[in-house]
A and B are shown apart, each in its own frame.
Chain A
Amino acid sequence: MNKPKVLMLGWEYPPMVNGGLGIACYGLSQALASKTELSFIVPKSAAAPKNIHLIGLNEKQHTHHEAANESVAYSKLIKNYPLDVALDPYQQLTPEEQQTKKIVVKKKKSVSKTKSATTSSSQKTDTSFSFDIKELYGNDLLKNTTLYTELAIAEARDLDFDVIHCHDWMTIPAGIELKKRTGKPLIVQIHSLEYDRSGPESNGLIFQIEKWGMEEADYVVPVSNYTGRIAFSRYGVNPKKLFTIRNGREDIHPYKKEKPFKEPLVVFVGRMTQQKAPLQFIEIAQRVLKKKPNTRFVMAGTGNLLPDTVESGAHYKTGDRIHFTGQLNRGQLFDLMAMADVYCMPSMSEPFGLTALEAVQFKVPCVISAQSGMYELLKGALFADHWNTGAFAEHIVALLSNQKLRAKCVTQATKDIEESTWEHAADRAMTLYDKILH
């Protein structure tokens, strides 16, 4: 059998990684490298992996820029919404990334090659688009999405592919447009949804793009059955189109590190945004401290809720018990995991929960939101509904007081993630490609 030719459309790729999306795209594409002929278009690439054809739009001199907006439905969609929406779907970049110099995509000559002859005058102007990576997730996210769509379509013209596989909403307009132009099947993989990030009342432009993408897709690939259920119940996706591919784990070499204090340590790792429920964690911490006053907590991550979360900890006069580290690099994160006694993830809605896999590898018992992809994967973790801070606290106290329970959880969880490999995820993807192409 010939290797399937896959065109992936993504937003993050190492070293430009903010969260699970970049890590997952990397893990999956690397595992697929030998099994497929893979081209992967991202806004920005810094390193060039040898085994896949990674195309960073920042590197390209785009001489044939498509007038995508004339034939595509997304322009209509975007026109109906104000463009200056402040968006923060993931979070700000790390300072090092912000310091990276601005990358400018030159659009030298905009010669329209679309079927439509009614080219607008603006296309003849010599403009340069900037893909300032600081703005990749900034206020201009929608503008960047539009830009990505236009440039990706232009880029794909020279590529040969059997199937389009896009990741999350920013790449959906490009995926749909390419499907319409080439007739190739479209796979929309969902790493996180607006529903996860903004809650049940989400109904804005991003929600609409996601819904539209999942409707147009031949297959929708959620990273967990939990996310599949949301796609079905909130977005009305035909369940027959759902095909779950769980994330794999990054193989790390776990170690233990001695804490500089004797108190047990409960760890929260995540963006300080509504989705990750940092304020809930403060409440959980208060409940734990009532029962076990000699406990410490660390909250790693940053985001728009950081100030409120810090102030809430101070409000309870527990600032010397709940430590904030800000954004951590991998080494620091591992050090933290190596010291942790319990890992707690109280997210309001967590499609998968990659960090929990790291905690498990570090033999840290986990207390996790039942509204997460982990619920169906980890038998060896304790779960509570995300609103039930009392139950979270009870689980944490139980793990801190009961050695047998700890050991049981760790052993079981280790077993649970044995099959969570990118190899396994790639096999699932191959099954799907096979299903679509034959």
Chain B
Amino acid sequence: MPSVCLYFQVHQPLRIRNFSFFDIGQQKDYFNNELNEEILHKVSDNCYLPANTLLLSLVKKYKGKFYCCFSLSGILIEQLAKHRPDVIASFKALADTGCIEFLGETYYHSLAAFYNKEEFDRQIKLHKKAVKKYFGKEPVVFRNTELLYQDAVSETAFRNGYQGVWIEGSENNLGKANPNRIYTNATEQLVLIPRNFVLSDEIAFRFKQKATPLTAQLFTKKILQLTSSQNTINLGLDYETFGEHFHKEEGILSFLSQWINNCIQSKKITFLTPSATIDQHYTVKKLNVPHITSWADSEKDISAWVQNDMQKECIEKLYALRDIILKLKNRSLLETWSALQCSDHFYYMSTKQHSDGEVHNYFSPFDSPHGAYIAYINVLADLELKIDKMRIYHSEQ
């Protein structure tokens, strides 16, 4: 029987303030705490809590027939633990059913995989620890930030004990190969699970946006078109799609519960966790991915985060600070620097136009990519000053 493997990306960055030149050297906080808390409460109430309640009811209703998985960034877990322990508890309740799996990722939702291997490794371990601490589960399948992938990613994931890695089911990963199958990585050490972006985007971008809105019946029909027993439809979505990007009043939650209901009742398809997907399906072939791929924008590469000069300058300068930051052994400094690695900061600086540009703007708390850059680079300038002062202090000691 074909199967569906469903994962939800759950992440909120620590957005930075509009940090101006006049703030440099004034001991001001880099992060826009007010805004971050406000958004956290909003998505918790609109999405995380109601969607978790819904999924929990489905798990209970179809005991052993409904499975899915979550990928929570460490930086979100941290924010929830601090401000919304009720949301942590509701994820924990889902984890306790045994039907929900958690994916591994970088703690800071970062691009470390392509800028510093050791940092990448450090964040994978940090994240694994956090998932274990809060949800009592050890992740076995990995999903890099925004499905960013390259052969080297699976090598690091493998070394960290992962059995599989999610990738985008796009041509730059698969060529002409079928996205509804699973593959092995270049070194054949682990399994690659491609996300069916056509069906996933059907929900994420086209729900309510067409002349004929996407109904649960229609979506079930599309899924049931795949009948081969080796087929696995891997759907990956921002969790915020359910209640935040689309509001409850637009019927997004009932849509979610209905098509899941429909699929289960059809008895033509099953739901699996990623690890069960790996166990129950055969891999087709190995995939070589020498260039960086991702799930973002029409290019489906790293260009959403690193393309223009502003993005390049910021990310290079940020990672250039790693050695000295580690040397200074100051925990809060390390955490600040780490939170600045969040890919979102670079996403806001994108100068892409048209529909991709609109998506970037939708998420950005800044007026313009240049505004996002100016704030970020000023933060880096301030951080450099701080480091200099600490360095002098250390050498005097």
Q: Which residues of A contact B (CB under 8 A)?
A: 259-261, 298, 306-307, 310-312, 314-315, 317, 319-321, 323-326, 332, 335
Contacts and interface: CB of A to CB of B under 8 A. Distances in A.
B21 A323 contact: yes
B308 to A, nearest CB: 7
B24 A260 contact: yes
B24 A324 contact: no
A323 B317 CA distance: 15
A307 B368 contact: yes
B22 to A, nearest CB: 7
B26 interface: yes
Contacts of B22: 325, 332, 335
Contacts of A321: 381
A431 B20 CA distance: 47
27 contacts: A260-B25, A260-B26, A260-B385, A298-B21, A307-B370, A310-B310, A310-B373, A310-B374, A311-B308, A311-B309, A314-B312, A314-B313, A314-B314, A317-B313, A317-B317, A319-B317, A319-B380, A320-B317, A320-B377, A320-B384, A323-B24, A323-B374, A324-B374, A325-B21, A326-B20, A326-B374, A332-B22
Contacts of A319: 310, 313-314, 317, 373, 377, 380
Nearest to A308: B370
Q: Chain A contact residues: over half helix, strand or loop, or mixed?
A: mixed
B321 to A, nearest CB: 11
For B26, B316, B378, which residue has the most chain A Cβ atoms within 10 angstroms?
Answer: B378
Interface residues of B, number: 25
Interface in B51-83: none
A310 B377 CA distance: 11
B21 A324 contact: yes
For the residues of B in contact with A, the DSSP-based class is helix
B378 to A, nearest CB: 6
Task: Return the 6 tightest CB-CB contacts between A and B, nearest first.
Answer: A260-B25, A319-B377, A323-B21, A314-B309, A315-B309, A320-B381
A226 B194 CA distance: 68
A317 B381 CA distance: 12
Interface string B112-128: 00000000000000000
Contacts of B314: 314, 319
A298 B317 CA distance: 19
Question: Which residue of A261, A314, A335 has the most chain B CB atoms within 10 A of its CB atom?
Answer: A314
A298 to B, nearest CB: 6
A260 B383 CA distance: 12
Contact of B370 (A261, A298, A310): A310
A428 to B, nearest CB: 39
A320 B379 CA distance: 9
Given A314-B309, A317-B317, A323 B373 contact: no
Contacts of B380: 319-320
A229 to B, nearest CB: 37
